[in-house]
Chains A and B, each alone.
Chain A
Amino acid sequence: GENVEQHPSTLSVQEGDSAVIKCTYSDSASNYFPWYKQELGKRPQLIIDIRSNVGEKKDQRIAVTLNKTAKHFSLHITETQPEDSAVYFCAASIGYSSASKIIFGSGTRLSIRP
């Protein structure tokens, strides 16, 4: 079955610097790769997603890149701000959306140092 590995498990960066979180997946049939952000005590919320027919997607300070050949995808956050502190989860789905069997990574706790 599908397996998603996420690294690092914790990440601390200086405010204003960039943060990168990486994920690898095992099932080459996976087509949809979302990223969710979970603030302390809150529910996960989608921040960006990418489908297998696209190599990169950007939304303001957040970008995701996908390398289907190597089966890995990454989240890039530039100009980090205190409100970026949270746990981030990557995921992979065989369907074209989250409305399917979906496997999440183990999460990355991102801390932004003032």
Chain B
Amino acid sequence: EAQVTQNPRYLITVTGKKLTVTCSQNMNHEYMSWYRQDPGLGLRQIYYSMNVEVTDKGDVPEGYKVSRKEKRNFPLILESPSPNQTSLYFCASSSYRLAEMNTGELFFGEGSRLTVL
């Protein structure tokens, strides 16, 4: 089954304790990205990756790191989480080949709800 898998789905942590949210896709997609969703602010892109070893900042990259060592994985790292990073996080993937087929769909994971105390 084609899917984007995020872990953990729920996490409560404390300020300053490093954490990693993993994201894995099994669709051989070149493109992967991270978003945070906050009430009234919609989805805001944190980082995106066009392919292995290629990452770029989105709209709200401060306080986050990413890496893309393998095509299927795109972990989101919070080196020193703060309460303002409490949010619902979504990972998504897509393929340039979809654009050639005249679609541009982002496939989202189920989301990871993070609370930083």
Contacts and interface: CB of A to CB of B under 8 A. Distances in A.
Interface residues of A, number: 28
B42 A106 contact: yes
Interface string B21-52: 00000000011010100001111110010100
B43 A99 contact: no
A46 to B, nearest CB: 4
B104 A99 contact: yes
B48 A105 contact: no
A105 B35 CA distance: 13
Contact of B104 (A98, A103, A104, A106): A98
B48 A101 contact: yes
Contacts of A1: 59
21 contacts: A9-B40, A43-B108, A43-B110, A43-B111, A44-B108, A93-B104, A97-B96, A97-B98, A97-B104, A98-B94, A98-B106, A99-B30, A99-B94, A99-B96, A101-B48, A101-B56, A101-B58, A102-B48, A103-B45, A106-B40, A106-B41
Interface of B: 30-31, 33, 35, 40-45, 48, 50, 56, 58-59, 90, 92, 94-96, 98-99, 102-106, 108-111
Interface of A: 1, 6, 9, 32, 34, 36, 43-46, 49, 51, 89, 91, 93, 95-107
